[in-house]
A and B are shown apart, each in its own frame.
Chain A
Amino acid sequence: MPTPRLFATSTTPTILLCRLCRLYYRPLPRISPRTSPFHTSAHSAAESIHTTTADTTAAVDETLTGAFQKSQKRALKDRHKDVIADPIAPSSPWEVTCGLEVHAQLNTKCKLFSTARMSVNAQQNTHISPIDASLPGTQPKLDPRALLPALRAAIALSCTPEPVSRFDRKHYFYWDQPAGYQITQFYHPLAKNGVLRLTPENSTVAVPLEIKIKQVQIEQDTGKTIQAPPLQLVDLNRVGAPLVEIITEPFPLEEAETAAKVLAKIQEVLRAVDACVLGMEWGGMRADVNVSVRRRGDAELGQRCEIKNLSSFKTVTDAVTAEAVRQIGIVEAGGTVEGETRGWDAEHSTTKKLRMKEGEVDYRYMPEPDLPPVVLGPGLVEKVRETLPPLPEQVIAELTSPAYGLSLKDSKTMLLWDEGRTTGYHRVITLYKYVVKLVTDTLSAQKKDTKGVGKVVGNWLVNELGGLLSTRQLAWEKNPVQPEQLADLITLVMAGKITGPTGKTLLPRLFDTDDSPSKIVRAENLGIKEMSDDELAGLINKILATGEGQNVIKQLAELEDIPKNQKKRKGLRGFVVGKVMREMGGKVKADRVDAVFDALLLKKPE
């Protein structure tokens, strides 16, 4: 057997490893790869693959590119998931603690201190006022409208708004920071001492979690750097965009995803109360994460490291995990963790040092001399509290309560369609509640039973209308069916005026007409046909008289006494009932046909 070339020629072990595997070697320099506690058989498998395929040069090349490597990566990635979660699992002797600093863009029309309009995808450097570009002689002027979404966020996170808050300057030089400082709230933030509760019901956490919110503050955003090698271009459109910064107290990680789940919950809350519109996926939210480790039972928290500027839930999970592994590795090897600021290196799936604590930027916080303090007027906080849109869990609780009786799944689907926002026109949930009200009112007026209206309407909305919209690739805002039309349709069905199948065929037609379903039903005579049992029996007998019908009867007779074959019997009967229904154009109810058929069968002499 030829020498395994990859082993022989490589001088550093990292070359042997795929990118993900390198993670293990860095934090544990003193432990040999083979004896590493994290190094499981998955890796040996990978090694053997490397070795065996290294027999020929051609094969080696193939392993480095192409589908083979891809599949191998996937396999390893899956392994990694298990392995990585290890240090954070409750069984681990280590406790990982995490603190979040979340920056989210407030939902405003204008920038925080200038009249330039906010923009997401405008041409670069077109939304800039002299203030944003920090031209000499300009002064910031607070747009008080930005306070409302910030206050909504603070109150939704159960924070106490401060009657007086102030702005401060945080100094550092960077090309996307035109003034050389950021205006933020350091000494006197907008609100303090909040709490965020995660439960298995409202989040996917295993056990309930209570995250303390230290403070909520308003600040301005920086510009964007656009890489255009060899140049770095700066886009100032985002400069001065209003941000809300939410700082949590440190909390223990139950699992690797906890930090991301907390972040997702914060995003959910901010979106629900209309404080922020853009989520992480659109760059509307970023987070700095502080990570520290300590042995379970230790009183003191370990030295923390800050990982800057994480912009997706996945990178938060990955970075927290990698950083925990790194710190545990250092401590296990007898070292001490240095306080430092780190960045996430997505390419190598590691955190990397940005600067040491000694080299830490001294932000030289100074009160902003041009901006007066923010004094909240009497009654403002109460007003915001009263008009605060409900939180997602409150909406779900309402929808799944007996009043509506929706399933959890349907409730969540609707909330998802509303992008987590719980108020405003053009929301699916608003539409749903309106239709439920219309249907209930009409049915009560007709002295009909209104039980189960919520569920029925939900069904029509989520499955039928939702399905039609999605096949036609229409967004909910573009839904052409009027709520009154939908309510009318559902009322017709529930009142027994038309059959379900008729309703289903009517629904798509409402996409192109403003006519009410009642009108269509009248005009085209689609209502349920009032047939006597005899008429129906005649119809059934006609079908049974055909060759297929005879066959069914024969088979039914054979199955008569075997209880096991209930299912098949049902199928056979269904065939007949279906035939009748088709004959009638869906204008009779299936259960009536069934009943008549039953009676017919009983009567029939064998």
Chain B
Amino acid sequence: MQTLRPTPTFSFPLGITKAATTSLDVIKKNAYINAFTSLLPDEQIIEQVTAADKRVFNREPKKSIFDGRLVAIKDNIVTTDLPTTCGSDMLRDYVSPFDATVVEKLREAGCIIMGKTNMDEFGMGSHSTYSAFGAVERPRFPGRAALSAGGSSGGSAAAVVAGMCHFALGTDTGGSVRLPASYCGIIGFKPSYGLISRWGVIAYANSLDTVGILSREVWESKHIFQLLSHYDPKDPTSIPKHTRQVVGEALHHHRKAIDAKRSLRIGVPAEYNLEELTPAVRAAWEQTLQHLQTEGCEIVDISLPNTRAALAAYYILAPAEASSNLARYDGLRYGHRSLEDRSSPERGEILFARTRQEGFGPEVQRRIILGTYTLSSEAIGNYFLQAQRVRRLVQQDFDKVFALPNLLLNREAEARIEGVDAIVVPTALSRPPALQDVRAQSHVETYANDVFTVPASLAGIPSVSVPVDINEKGSPVGIQVITQWGDEKRLWKVAEMVEDISPELMRDVGVRENKAPRL
């Protein structure tokens, strides 16, 4: 088996052509990772990289700081030059006639969309094992056990950590960017709902879906976010320009007022200190909080009482929306169509049961059935509507502890100085588990993995996972920073403080030598 070679790659001092060829080399030599479902042909990548290099040589203005860099896109974000499969047989050959807005934005910034990354089918999974293209494996040193790359954006996370691309886009519905980032030891960012356009993102659960960013450094995620966070008239849930401006100014005003009076306050919710938390994660969490304290932050105990119920609510709401969103895959206009459905009109009504049975994998079918049930007239009151109420409570939990108000819900709300500026919690219960153990888990056990990531998704607030304690085996712990809606500014600040904890340990992942200079 080919294993990852610990080569120095992607630091900025490396020219963009050299960085790209090294990446392509890494992809070829590490096929076991199975990070991609499709790749642009090498010569096309090199052609685009050379063009960017020429721009640098001719001293033309750079399109952005990521001009000429390779970017991997999760395979549920549509692209016109590569298929978009969602990791499903249903869309194995599907090529979209339009680019997603985020893809357009990246192309404008000079990024090279070099490939589409493997994922849990339609985003449903936590280990990137439920893919029609086979499971993703976390990059590892020779002789070590195969680990979970996390999911559902596992392909994107693995590609970033292995150095196959400069950064990657994923989608985060209930933790699908933060969990793989935590397992792979990189930065995984989920923005406030409504800031990054979802046009062209294949829906899993629209009210929770966000486009997330996976990068090696916090500052990179920050820049990519600035590149992508714009109003998009095509996305009806995209926050309009005016609201962005008004909320942005109000938040700035509140932050300034608070900073003038006290130091940063970091909230630590008691409900996250679960029994199931592994000692390593608990230790890393404590270490992080100590570090923040030494940096001058005030650590405050807080309570988010509906955290446990959040997970249950999420597993009602997401499958319900999914059962609806996935109803369109009937094989008539695009995608897989069963030969049986095509050839047996004598069965009476031409339906799509067979097509959907063949096209969807078992986990997707399981969630569709679950969602169909919870929306049925007999169950909707006890499940779907109840879960919506819980979602509201979870969101209120956050509003009660943050110093900044949720201006999306109430423009006039005032800041509360006694509140916290950010919440710092673990991203996952453990370090990345072995793929072997994951396969032995029951479905419900797998669902429990999302317990720390789901609340921020339900509340629609930003969250970023930062790796902190990478052990001798290269196995990291991810720590999440969560802030109020629209308060990405504070999020980056705290995340950079967390990132500073153990820079020397980062090398142990095996793929990075040089820390990139701050621009």
Please list the residues of chain A having a beta carbon within 8 angstroms of any beta carbon in chain B: 130, 133-142, 169, 171, 173, 175, 178-181, 230, 232, 234, 362, 364-366, 369-372
CB of B93, distance to nearest CB on chain A (Å): 13
Task: Establish whether residues B236 and A140, one from each chain, have CB atoms under 8 Å apart when the complex forms.
Answer: yes
Query: B residues touching A (Cβ–Cβ < 8 Å)?
Result: 77-78, 84, 86, 91, 94, 96-98, 100, 198-203, 205-207, 233-237, 320-321, 323-324, 326-328, 330, 332-334, 345, 350-352, 372, 375-377, 380, 384
Is the contact region of chain B dominated by helix, strand, or loop, or is it mixed? loop
Q: Bound state CA distance, A42 and B428, in angstroms?
A: 84
- Give chain B residues whose Cβ lies under 8 Å from the Cβ of A136: 78, 84, 86, 91, 94, 96, 202-203, 328, 334
Q: Are A180 and B328 in contact (CB under 8 A)?
A: yes
* Residue numbers in A under 8 Å from B330 (CB-CB): 173, 175, 180
- Please determine whether A364 and B206 come into contact, CB atoms closer than 8 angstroms: no
Most B CB atoms within 10 A — which of A138, A179, A181, A230?
A: A138
Contact yes or no, A372 B200, CB < 8 A: no
B328 CB to closest chain A CB (Å) equals 4
Given contacts A173-B351, A230-B345, A364-B377, contact A370 B236 (CB under 8 A): yes
Given known A-B contacts A139-B234, A141-B234, A372-B236, A171 and B327 have beta carbons under 8 A apart: yes
Closest 8 CB pairs of A and B: A180-B327, A364-B375, A369-B206, A369-B207, A137-B200, A134-B328, A137-B78, A136-B202
Roughly how many angstroms separate A371 CA and B94 CA in the complex, as a whole number?
A: 26
Who on chain B is nearest to A128 by CB? B333
Chain B hits for A364, CB < 8 A: 323-324, 372, 375-377, 380
Given A136-B84, A137-B84, A364-B377, A181:B327 Cβ within 8 A: yes
Q: A135 touching B96 by the CB < 8 A rule?
A: yes
**Alpha-carbon gap, A427 to B233, bound state (A):** 39
Q: How far is the CA of A171 from the CA of B100 in the complex (A)?
A: 26
In the complex, what residues of A have CB within 8 A of residue B377's CB? 362, 364
Report the bound CA distance from A169 to B235 in whole Å.
18
Q: Which residue of chain A has its CB nearest to the CB of B351?
A: A173
Contacts of B100 in A (CB 8 A): 137
Judge whether A141 and B233 touch: CB under 8 Å. yes
The answer to whether B328 touches A130, judged by C-beta atoms less than 8 angstroms apart, is no
- Is the pair A171, B91 in contact by a Cβ cutoff of 8 Å? no
Question: A135-B334, A137-B201 are known contacts; what are 19 more A-B pairs with Cβ within 8 Å?
Answer: A133-B333, A135-B97, A137-B84, A137-B96, A137-B200, A138-B199, A139-B198, A139-B203, A139-B236, A169-B324, A171-B324, A173-B351, A181-B327, A232-B350, A362-B377, A364-B377, A365-B380, A366-B375, A366-B384
- Minimum Cβ distance to chain B for residue A205 (Å): 38
Pairwise interchain contact A175-B350, C-beta atoms closer than 8 A: yes
Known contacts A364-B372, A366-B375, A178 near B333 by CB under 8 Å = yes
28 residue pairs bridging A and B, Cβ less than 8 Å apart: A134-B333, A135-B97, A136-B84, A136-B91, A136-B203, A137-B78, A137-B200, A137-B202, A139-B199, A139-B203, A139-B235, A141-B236, A169-B324, A171-B375, A175-B330, A175-B332, A179-B327, A181-B324, A181-B327, A234-B332, A364-B377, A366-B375, A369-B206, A369-B207, A369-B321, A370-B203, A370-B236, A372-B236
Q: Roughly how many angstroms separate A169 CA and B94 CA in the complex, as a whole number?
A: 25
Nearest CB in chain A to that of B353: its residue? A173
Instruction: Give complex CA distance A387, B413 in Å.
Output: 39
Check A370 against B333 for contact (C-beta < 8 Å). Answer: no
Which residue on B lies nearest to A372, using beta carbons? B236
Tell me the complex Cα distance, A531–B98, Å. 85
User: Which residues of B lie under 8 Å from residue A372 when comparing CB positions?
Assistant: 236-237
Give the distance to chain A from B170, nearest Cβ to Cβ, in Å.
15
Chain A residues closer than 8 Å to B98, beta-carbon distance: 130, 137
**CA A125 – CA B200 in complex, angstroms?**
22
Write the nearest CB–CB distance from B199 to chain A, whole angstroms: 6
Min CB distance, B451 to chain A, in Å? Answer: 23
In the bound assembly, the distance between CA atoms of A180 and B198 in angstroms comes to: 21
Q: Measured between C-beta atoms, what is the minimum distance from A137 to chain B in Å?
A: 4
Query: What is the CA–CA distance of A180 and B375 in the complex, to the nearest angstrom?
Result: 14
Minimum Cβ distance to chain A for residue B334 (Å): 7
